[in-house]
Chain A
Amino acid sequence: MDLKQQSPLGKFIEHLKAGEFAYQYSAADGKAFFYPRVVAPTSGAALEWKISKGLGTVYSTTWIPVKDGQPYNVALIDMDEGFRLMSRVEDIGAKDVAIGMRVKFRAHPGDKPDDPPYPVFTAVEGA
């Protein structure tokens, strides 16, 4: 990766802008990694980019109260491809997010016009 041309996070954000959740995979290790890096941890092997199917499971979850408002959720999501990230589960109450819940990715456009997009999740219906 030529860091004068593009950063690992820059590439991730570029995919998000196209509605894709990109992650890195090391063929030498046979493992997926997240967050994006210039090199695979431990082995130092080369990384290739892949697109996630977007499905995962809530590994842990919390809710944080807001004075005069609704609590919000923060969760750790284990993706089916074998990596974990921090995110939140939207469209349901913060207190209704549970460990083990199946969730699906969608791209959030960013909180302000110049902010980068980021991955969030919704509960998988009927899962």
Chain B
Amino acid sequence: MMQNLLKRGSAAIVGVAESDLGLVAPHTSPIDLMAQGVMRALDDCGLKLSDVDALFAATSQARFSTMMLKEYLGLNPTWNDNTQIGGSSFEAHVAHAWAAIQLGQCEVAVITYGSTQRSVSRAAASPREYNYYEAPFRPFMPPTAYAMATARHMHQYGTTREQLAEVAVAARQWALMNPVAWEKEPLTIEQVLASRMVSHPLSVRDCCLVTDGGGAIVMTSGERAKTLKKKPVYPIGYGEGLSHNSIANMADLTVTGAAVSGPRAYAMAGLGPKDIDVVELYDAFTITPILFLEDLGFCPKGEGGRFVSGGRIAPGGELPVDTNGGGLSYCHPGMYGLFILIEAVRQLRGECGQRQVKDAETAIVHGNGGVLSSQITCILGGPSTV
């Protein structure tokens, strides 16, 4: 059994920022967006580029992200980490940076992402590796994989398209309170149900956006965090659940690796679902928050569709979920996991204005990568949790 040697309070998230989002100018590179995000996140905490001694980065458009960023920013990091497990890479980077900082391998780490997938097309930004066992069947990936998980959840638990639409509508309501969200118009359940089918039963409104964008997070030691501009936010729980790579090899399409990563993160944090104030779940598709709410213990297995109904996860509902508007309505440049970390930090600092969750002191951030493949849970806490 794994022994947890990560010490609470040894590292903190001190700076967060998005780069420009939505649609960026022609010839913008993913590394331009990373650099912009890094400078904004450093400005957020009052550190300088020359303070940075560790780089953590991933994007589908640059295999050697940390080398490109090192070159672009003229840095000489003592530590770098290019871990690439899809959209949950950044949740993993948080734990890796936490460990490196605690060990003294580095003191100021940036975690960053950039993508121009709207500008250059999804196919160009995320080319698929050839897989003999899938290619002849022309699955429209990733939606087809999530569609088959959805079909299975409907078959086993009676989940309906209306319940899925509740997730999209809640996300839209949150997005309307986020000035940088891509979507600006209200959305109804009827509009979701009437929208174009992508891979049955998922329609275009059940699928995340395709935008450009990026951002960065700055982490440093717990000691140094106390000397900086903003209230530190601490990682206090972490868990990994890598269950498969291709969808045919996911044992049960209704149970994700979050059922493994969640309990690990809760155990480390000494918290349970009832202790969490803000829930930030990777919503690549409307089915994913439903699966993660179940697997992270917010409702029993199979109840996710009924749980999200009646506006429970929307603004004013019982459980605030995906308060930035999510990948469904705020932004989704392809590997969305960084943005839920940014939103959770802002919620715990109390910076979210109209969409602020009152007295938020704990947040669960759940990243998803591949086709429900890599599940990473981070639990973050404010100063009272350390």
With contacts A60-B149, A64-B144, A76-B248 taken as known, whether A88 is within 8 angstroms of B200 at the C-beta atoms is no
In the complex, are the beta carbons of A108 and B136 less than 8 A apart? yes
In the assembled complex, A111 has its CB within 8 A of some CB on chain B: yes
Return chain B residues, CB-CB under 8 Å to A75.
148
In the assembled complex, A99 has its CB within 8 A of some CB on chain B: yes
With contacts A62-B148, A74-B139, A99-B152 taken as known, whether A86 is within 8 angstroms of B133 at the C-beta atoms is yes
In the complex, are the beta carbons of B132 and A86 less than 8 A apart? no
With contacts A74-B139, A86-B247 taken as known, whether A35 is within 8 angstroms of B148 at the C-beta atoms is no
Type the 1/0 row for A58-85, where 1 means its CB is closer than 8 Å to any CB of B.
0111111100000110111000000011
Chain A, interface size category, equals 20 to 34
Return chain B residues, CB-CB under 8 Å to A115.
136
In the complex, are the beta carbons of B140 and A64 less than 8 A apart? yes
A23 to B221, CA, bound (A): 52
A63 to B134, CA, bound (A): 15
Question: Which residue in A65, A71, A84, A95 is a CB contact (below 8 Å) of B248?
Answer: A84
In the assembled complex, B138 has its CB within 8 A of some CB on chain A: yes
In the complex, are the beta carbons of B140 and A85 less than 8 A apart? no
In the assembled complex, A9 has its CB within 8 A of some CB on chain B: yes
In the complex, are the beta carbons of A87 and B137 less than 8 A apart? yes
In the complex, are the beta carbons of B136 and A118 less than 8 A apart? yes
In the complex, are the beta carbons of B134 and A86 less than 8 A apart? yes
Question: Which residue in A59, A60, A64 is a CB contact (below 8 Å) of B138?
Answer: A64
In the complex, are the beta carbons of B151 and A116 less than 8 A apart? no
In the complex, are the beta carbons of A61 and B151 less than 8 A apart? yes
With contacts A64-B199, A86-B247, A99-B155 taken as known, whether A111 is within 8 angstroms of B136 at the C-beta atoms is yes
CB distance from A56 to the nearest CB of B (A): 12
A61 to B151, CA, bound (A): 7
In the assembled complex, B147 has its CB within 8 A of some CB on chain A: yes
Return chain A residues, CB-CB under 8 Å to B199.
62-64, 74
A59 to B133, CA, bound (A): 16
Using a Cβ–Cβ cut-off of 8 Å, how many residues does chain B contribute to the interface with A? 26
In the complex, are the beta carbons of B197 and A116 less than 8 A apart? no
Type the 1/0 row for B74-91, where 1 means its CB is closer than 8 Å to any CB of A.
000000000000000000
Question: Which residue in B155, B197, B201, B247 is a CB contact (below 8 Å) of A76?
Answer: B247
With contacts A74-B144, A95-B200 taken as known, whether A88 is within 8 angstroms of B137 at the C-beta atoms is yes
In the assembled complex, B299 has its CB within 8 A of some CB on chain A: no
Which residues of A in the span 99-119 have a Cβ within 8 Å of any Cβ on B?
Answer: 99-100, 108, 110-111, 115-116, 118
Type the 1/0 row for B195-206, where 1 means its CB is closer than 8 Å to any CB of A.
011111100000
Which residues of B in the span 122-162 have a Cβ within 8 Å of any Cβ on A?
Answer: 132-134, 136-140, 144, 147-149, 151-152, 155
A99 to B138, CA, bound (A): 19
A62 to B196, CA, bound (A): 15
In the assembled complex, B253 has its CB within 8 A of some CB on chain A: yes
With contacts A60-B149, A63-B200 taken as known, whether A86 is within 8 angstroms of B138 at the C-beta atoms is no
Return chain B residues, CB-CB under 8 Å to A71.
200
Return chain A residues, CB-CB under 8 Å to B132.
9, 116, 118
Return chain A residues, CB-CB under 8 Å to B137.
74, 86-88
In the complex, are the beta carbons of B200 and A62 less than 8 A apart? yes
Question: Which residue in B138, B148, B197, B201 is a CB contact (below 8 Å) of A65?
Answer: B197
Binding site for A on B (CB under 8 A): 132-134, 136-140, 144, 147-149, 151-152, 155, 196-201, 246-249, 253
Q: List 10 A-B contacts (CB under 8 A).
A: A60-B151, A61-B148, A62-B147, A64-B138, A64-B200, A71-B200, A74-B144, A86-B134, A95-B200, A110-B136
Binding site for B on A (CB under 8 A): 9, 35, 59-65, 71-72, 74-76, 84-88, 95, 99-100, 108, 110-111, 115-116, 118
Given contact pairs A9-B132, A63-B200, A85-B133, a sample of 18 additional A-B residue pairs in the complex whose CB atoms are under 8 Å apart: A60-B148, A60-B149, A60-B152, A60-B155, A60-B253, A61-B151, A62-B199, A64-B199, A65-B198, A74-B199, A76-B148, A76-B247, A86-B137, A86-B247, A99-B152, A99-B155, A110-B136, A118-B136
